[in-house]
């Protein structure tokens, strides 16, 4: 089944229902949005795009984002969403790697670059060409999407690439549908009256969280600022109500800081789904105390999008449970569409509570990496996806991430999980952000080096933080070296770039 069928069906059932708003202003109803999508699909086909082809979308969150995505799917092509914060050279590299036939871009002028593949056409979102292609003609109210098989490629997702060149993760129509159907079961009871808001890049998780809302006929909201602006979110929450959005933990920190300053307590926000990186307990406490039980955590990765584990809102907020601390510090339990295990190098289960690599099997797991058979064979083993993340499963099935395997620091033969050190340091009132890595040491193999960003005006040097750690953790885990920075290097998704920190070290 083509996942685009949901837009077709919703438009037939509820043509007058609002489909997309830019801020509060209505951009299109479902009937009009589907017509626009069908027109674009025809326009793409007229430019030579056919079933099995790839269409790149390199753009900010905008009102036509979902239409371009669905237009590609409509004609049996796959969509390749590229984060708009990437450098044009990086985008051109992805266009070439994906072998894209067409690229829809913000500016429309990237194909003049020497590194742009000659056989890829470009259309600018704001061009006359695009406007013409998106104008519905006769038949654009009825034409259904082309049939697709479950395992046909729908979405080619380039992983954020904290290491090396990005790889294209192949997600099928079946995987996207399984992901969408798990959402209301495990993550949040989605409703037609919700306002899904796209504050985080739609090229990533936020864009994957659109299909169930299209199915329901909810109205998608594009923030006029096209990004994550807490003041804008507050205003939209107050005006529209029932906002639901995905945010990375770094965004939650900004949201909470804004709420603290403005006096807003989250009224009008129904649910914030967070994930994509570690959320520290101190931050979570602050968010829940200030804004109430509106938060749900998910753990996923491009290779099993949004769907490895979930920690639902009641568990995120519950501090009375006897195991509350462990549960709230975990990423929750396996979502309904996957099985999760923690294994050793031979792929055998490790005992309960012992650390090992997290592996995942289920309907949402990728088909493989685009044109990378070796990387695929290393990552998909007997149907299990090796996540590269290290964690432990407790007796009740809660998974705690300790780190990505490559980030583990080994000092004196003992594993040190950076996250543990980071949690301890973050609990200090003067520390705003922290990231720790291992650096070579003649004596121990590796030493812990901490990069610290202090709150403005905080007065704490290495001695203070050393004493703080000494009072709270095993001595071997304490950072031996300290660097104080104004900010941590982050990638386009707000994830701390440990590779960059390693270079600096």
Letters for 219-238 (x = contact with ligand AMP by CB under 6 A, - = none) are: --------------------
Build a one-symbol-per-residue string for 378-417: x at contacts with ligand AMP by CB under 6 A, - elsewhere: ---------x-x-----------x--x-------------
Q: Which is nearer to ligand AMP, 29 or 297 (CB)?
A: 297
131 in Cβ contact with 123 (< 8 Å):
no
**Cα separation, 121 vs 111, whole angstroms:** 7
Taking the complex as a whole, the smallest distance from the CB of residue 204 to ligand AMP amounts, in Å, to 7
Nearer to ligand AMP, 323 or 406 (CB): 406
The secondary structure of 46-98 as a DSSP string is HTT--TT-EEEEE--S-TTHHHHHHHHHHTT-EEEEE-TTS-HHHHHHHHHHH
Which residue number, 300 or 368, has a Cβ lying nearer to ligand AMP? Answer: 300
Give yes or no for residue 368 binding ligand AMP (CB under 6 A): no
What's the rounded Cα separation, in Å, for the pair 91 and 203?
Answer: 12
Least separation in angstroms between residue 275's CB and ligand AMP is: 4
d(CA 308, CA 296): 14
Quick check: 299 binds ligand AMP (CB under 6 A)?
A: yes
Q: How far is CA 301 from CA 173, 305, 374, 405, 495, in A?
A: 17, 5, 19, 14, 13
Binding mask 139-168 for ligand AMP (x = CB under 6 A): --------------------xx--------
| Beta strand extents in 100-242 (DSSP E only) | 102-105, 121-124, 153-158, 168-172, 195-197, 220-222
The angle subtended at Cα 269 by Cα 268 and Cα 271, nearest 5°, is: 150
Among 10-18, 182-190, 274-282, 496-504, the segment contacting ligand AMP (CB under 6 A): 274-282
- φ, ψ of residue 132 to 5 degrees: the values are -65, -45
Closest to ligand AMP by CB, 33 or 493: 493
Nearest-Å Rg of the Cα atoms of the chain is 23
Q: Which listed residue (31, 223, 276, 329) binds ligand AMP by CB under 6 A?
A: 276
- For the bound state, the minimum distance from the C-beta of residue 234 to ligand AMP, rounded and expressed in Å, comes to 24
Q: How far is the CB of 501 from ligand AMP (least distance, A)?
A: 16
CB of 373 to ligand AMP, least distance (A): 20
Residue 309 corresponds to which tokens in the numbers above?
């584990």
Residue 209 CB, shortest distance to ligand AMP, in Å, is 13
Shortest distance in whole angstroms from residue 302 CB to ligand AMP = 4
Which 474-503 residues touch ligand AMP, going by CB under 6 A? none
Q: Which residue has tokens 């953790």?
A: 473
By CB neighbour count within 10 A (0-12 exposed, 13-18 middle, 19+ buried), where does 487 fall? exposed
Nearest distance in Å: CB 364, ligand AMP: 13
* Tokens representing residue 211 in the block: 């299909």
- Select the residue interacting with ligand AMP from 81, 223, 302, 479 (CB under 6 A): 302
Measured CA to CA, the distance from residue 199 to residue 225 in angstroms comes to 9
Report the sign of the C-alpha dihedral through residues 219, 225, 228, 233, in that order: negative
Please name which of 408, 403, 409 lies closest in space to residue 390, comparing C-alpha atoms: 403
In the complex, least distance from residue 16 CB atom to ligand AMP, rounded to whole angstroms: 36
Nearer to ligand AMP, 271 or 297 (CB): 297
Q: CB-wise, 29 or 250, nearer to ligand AMP?
A: 250
Is 37 or 424 the residue whose CB approaches ligand AMP more closely? 424
Q: For strand 18-22 and strand 220-222, is the pairing parallel, antiparallel, or unpaired?
A: parallel
DSSP string, 175-200: HHHHHHHHIIIII----TT-EEE--S
Largest CA distance in the chain: 76
Q: Which is nearer to ligand AMP, 158 or 468 (by Cβ)?
A: 158
| Among 275, 368, 418, 479, contact with ligand AMP (rule: CB under 6 A) | 275
Q: Count how many Cα atoms sit within 13 Å of the Cα of residue 185 in the half-sphere of its side chain.
A: 12
Only segment of 238-246, 293-301, 319-327, 365-373 that touches ligand AMP (CB under 6 A): 293-301
Closest CB to ligand AMP among 2 and 182? 182
| 278 binding ligand AMP? (CB under 6 A) | yes
Q: Which of 203, 226, 271, 301 binds ligand AMP (CB under 6 A)?
A: 301
Which lies closer to ligand AMP via its Cβ, residue 266 or residue 275?
A: 275
Q: How far apart (Å, rounded) are the C-alpha atoms in residues 92 and 446?
A: 38
One character per residue 312-341, x = contact with ligand AMP (rule: CB under 6 A): -------------------x----------
Choose between 247 and 431: whose C-beta lies nearer to ligand AMP. Answer: 247
CA-closest candidate to residue 348, choices 374, 381, 316, 326: 381
Q: Which stretch binds ligand AMP (CB under 6 A): 35-43, 92-100, 298-306, 312-320?
A: 298-306
Count residues near ligand AMP (CB under 6 A).
16
Q: Residue 476 and residue 53: Cα distance in Å, rounded?
A: 53
- Least Cβ distance, residue 296 to ligand AMP (angstroms): 10
Select the residue interacting with ligand AMP from 117, 277, 430, 462 (CB under 6 A).
277
Q: Which residues bind ligand AMP (CB under 6 A)?
A: 159-160, 275-278, 297, 299-302, 331, 387, 389, 401, 404
């Amino acid at each position: 089944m083509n996942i685009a069928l949901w837009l077709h069906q919703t438009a037939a059932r509820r043509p007058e229902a609002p489909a997309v708003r830019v801020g509060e202003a209505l951009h299109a109803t479902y009937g009009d949005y589907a017509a626009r999508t069908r027109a674009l699909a025809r326009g793409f086909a007229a430019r030579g795009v056919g079933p099995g082809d790839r269409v790149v979308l390199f753009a900010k969150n905008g009102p036509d984002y979902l239409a371009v995505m669905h237009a590609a799917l409509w004609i049996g092509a796959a969509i390749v969403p590229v984060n708009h914060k990437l450098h044009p050279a990086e985008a051109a590299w992805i266009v070439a790697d994906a072998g894209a036939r067409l690229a829809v871009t913000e500016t429309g002028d990237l194909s003049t670059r020497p590194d742009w593949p000659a056989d890829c056409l470009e259309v600018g979102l704001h061009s006359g060409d695009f406007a013409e292609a998106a104008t519905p003609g006769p038949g654009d109210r009825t034409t259904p999407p082309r049939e697709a098989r479950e395992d046909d490629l729908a979405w080619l997702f380039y992983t954020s690439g904290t290491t090396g060149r990005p790889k294209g993760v192949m997600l099928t129509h079946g995987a996207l549908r399984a992901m969408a159907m798990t959402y209301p079961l495990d993550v949040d009871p989605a409703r037609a009256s919700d306002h899904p808001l796209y504050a985080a890049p739609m090229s990533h998780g936020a864009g994957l969280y659109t299909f169930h809302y299209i199915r329901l006929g909810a109205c998608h909201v594009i923030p006029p600022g096209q990004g994550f602006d807490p003041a804008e979110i507050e205003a939209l929450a107050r005006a529209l109500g029932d906002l639901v959005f995905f945010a990375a933990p770094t965004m939650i920190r900004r949201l909470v800081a804004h709420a603290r300053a403005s006096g807003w307590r989250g009224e009008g926000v129904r649910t914030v789904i967070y994930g994509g990186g570690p959320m520290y307990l101190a931050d979570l406490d602050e968010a829940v105390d200030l804004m109430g039980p509106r938060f749900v955590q998910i753990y996923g990765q491009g290779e099993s999008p949004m769907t490895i584990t979930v920690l639902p809102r009641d568990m995120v907020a519950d501090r009375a449970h006897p195991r509350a601390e462990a549960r709230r510090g975990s990423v929750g339990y396996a979502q309904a569409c996957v099985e999760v295990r923690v294994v050793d190098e031979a792929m055998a289960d490790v005992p309960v509570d012992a650390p090992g690599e997290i592996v995942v099997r289920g309907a949402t797991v990728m088909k493989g990496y685009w044109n990378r058979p070796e990387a695929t064979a290393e990552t998909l083993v007997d149907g299990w996806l090796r996540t590269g993340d290290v964690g432990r499963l407790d007796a009740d099935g809660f998974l705690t991430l300790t780190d990505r395997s490559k980030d583990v620091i080994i000092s004196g033969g003992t594993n040190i999980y950076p996250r543990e050190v980071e949690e301890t340091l973050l609990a200090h009132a003067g520390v705003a952000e922290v990231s720790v890595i291992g650096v070579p040491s003649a004596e121990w193999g590796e030493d812990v080096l901490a990069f610290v960003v202090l709150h403005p005006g905080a007065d704490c040097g290495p001695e203070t933080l050393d004493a703080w750690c000494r009072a709270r953790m095993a001595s071997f885990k304490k950072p031996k070296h300290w660097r104080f920075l104004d900010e941590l290097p982050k990638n386009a998704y707000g994830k701390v770039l440990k590779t960059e920190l390693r270079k600096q070290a």
